[in-house]
Amino acid sequence: MVEDDLRERVARFVTAEVMPCEPVLDAGGPAAAAALGGLRDRARAEGLWALPLPRELGGGGLPLRAYAALAEAEGASDHGPAALGSAPLLDVTMLSRHTGPRVRAEHLRDLVAGRTRSCFAMTEPDVPGTDPTLTATRAERLAGGGWLVTGRKWFTSGAADAGLVTVLARTGGAPGDRAGLSLLLVPTRSPGFRVVRELPVFGASGQYEIALDRVEVPGDQLLGEPGAALAVVGERLQLGRVLRCLRWLGQAQRAFDLLCHRAATRAGSQGPLGDHQLVQQHVFDALLALRTTRPLVHEAVALIDAGRDARTEVGLAKVAAARMLQRVTDSAIQIHGAAGLGPDTPLPALFRTGRAARVLDGPDELHITSVARRVLRGYGTGAAGPG
């Protein structure tokens, strides 16, 4: 099948080209930028560039469900989506749906081609990211219809290399109101925009604190309707979460393969490590976690693809995939002993992703309580169950 062939080619590219560059890419800076540029050129040359992005914008035109089949292979390295040009899928989808013709014409092709990069700034240092109604960044309306944005955001992934940042700001109402929040597309070259500092996560680069000091934004760079950002944010997070889950499956599979290889090939005086039942327990539990999470993730993808309500399924998939990645990478490290903590395997980086996964895009607790409440509502209204 064409899709199997494409998945094989993506898997080969990520294994042979992207994975060897991971230490350089993780370190950030000019060497990382040069390595990423080289990978992108090779991905383009091999016809693997921007596979899930719309064909009319220069992408490969794969629908979400077809892309889901190869997103695991692409995401087996955290750098796979950036190297293969699918990283802008979320922003291109949001801007296509929620901006007007001028903004779309100005930015979408550049985003798909990789000439412009984008990032998303919602979380702030001084208010809980889990409660966006408390967002302190504000945008004031200008007489000509534009906006003046002022505030501070942090853990904005990729902000230092981005040409565009979508910022959540209060344009009306009061702290705590669900209405009155808006998303604004801010070019990072705008006067008043500043990267304040890098925020390494367990030593890895890629996260930044940014400041906006009366940054002027044209009126048509507001996404959707003024004051109605939370619906757009919800839509974005649903797609974003399942894309991450697919990539985490790929990374967990990679850790699982390392675990099994180590257990089967490293031998003590009584035989391979894998002969110990306690090591077999790690193999079983890791495989069980992987195999039970994969269908949850694909169920959520199928619902989103069909345009149906996927909030419960995305919540289940996100918590399951984050826990699973942390668990599988932890087992793989354990079976490697000290080598699993050192610099010779990707396990520390995979574990780092697994740990961060339980916080980013909403921490576990948020998904657990919102899924449970939604399920219980189905029982409290006289219905037989949530359906």
Ligand X SMILES: Cc1cc2nc3c(=O)[nH]c(=O)nc-3n(C[C@H](O)[C@H](O)[C@H](O)COP(=O)(O)OP(=O)(O)OC[C@H]3O[C@@H](n4cnc5c(N)ncnc54)[C@H](O)[C@@H]3O)c2cc1C
Residues of this chain that interact with ligand X (CB under 6 A) are 119-123, 128-130, 155-157, 201, 207, 356, 359-363, 365-366, 369
Q: Is 149 exposed, middle or buried (0-12, 13-18, 19+ CB in 10 A)?
A: buried
Nearer residue to ligand X within complex by CB, 313 or 361:
361
- Give the nearest distance from C-beta 376 to ligand X in angstroms: 15
Nearer residue to ligand X within complex by CB, 129 or 354:
129
- Give the nearest distance from C-beta 204 to ligand X in angstroms: 8
Nearer residue to ligand X within complex by CB, 114 or 240:
240
- Residue-by-residue DSSP string for 142-159: PTTS-EEEEEEEEEEETG
- Give the nearest distance from C-beta 374 to ligand X in angstroms: 14
- Give the nearest distance from C-beta 168 to ligand X in angstroms: 8
- Give the nearest distance from C-beta 367 to ligand X in angstroms: 9
Q: How far apart are CA 244 and CA 187, in angstroms?
A: 25
- Give the nearest distance from C-beta 206 to ligand X in angstroms: 7
List alpha helices for the chain, DSSP H. 2-13, 22-27, 29-45, 64-75, 80-83, 89-98, 101-113, 229-265, 277-305, 311-336, 347-357, 364-380
Provide the β-strand partners of residue 210.
Answer: 153, 195
* HSE (side-chain half, CA atoms, 13 Å) at 315: 17
Residue nearest to ligand X (CB): 129
Nearer residue to ligand X within complex by CB, 62 or 156:
156
Give me the amino acid identity at 29. Answer: G
Nearer residue to ligand X within complex by CB, 283 or 375:
375
Give me the amino acid identity at 86. Answer: S
Nearer residue to ligand X within complex by CB, 11 or 196:
196
